[in-house]
Amino acid sequence: MPLNHLNLTVTSPAETSRFMQKYFDMKCLGEPPQDNASMAFLTDENGMVLAFLRGKQGVEISYPASFHVGFIQPNEARVDEINARLRADGYEAPEPSRMHGSWTFYFMSPGGFVIEVLC
Look at residues 57, 75, 92 and tell me which one is the last residue of a structural domain.
Answer: 57
53 & 79 share domain: no
71 & 50 share domain: no
* DSSP assignment letter at 55: P
What was the pLDDT predicted at 6? 95
| Buried/exposed 44-74: b ≥16 CB within 10 Å, e otherwise | eeeeeebbbebbeeeeeeeeeeeeebebebe
Residue-wise pLDDT for 52-87, tens only, equals 999 888 788 899 999 999 999 999 999 999 999 999
- Could you tell me the residue range of the domain that residue 23 belongs to? 1-57
Q: Within a domain: residue 62?
A: no
Tell me the pLDDT band of 105, cut-offs 50, 70 and 90: very high
Residue-wise pLDDT for 83-100, tens only, equals 999 999 999 999 999 999
Report the distance separating Cα 45 and Cα 109, nearest Å: 21
89 & 110 share domain: yes
Residue 38 confidence (pLDDT) above 90? yes
Is residue 82 within 8 A of residue 117, CB to CB? The reply is: yes
73 & 34 share domain: no
What was the pLDDT predicted at 90? 96
Report the distance separating Cα 37 and Cα 13, nearest Å: 7
51 & 72 share domain: no
Question: What is the rounded average pLDDT of the residues 20-30?
Answer: 96
2 & 52 share domain: yes
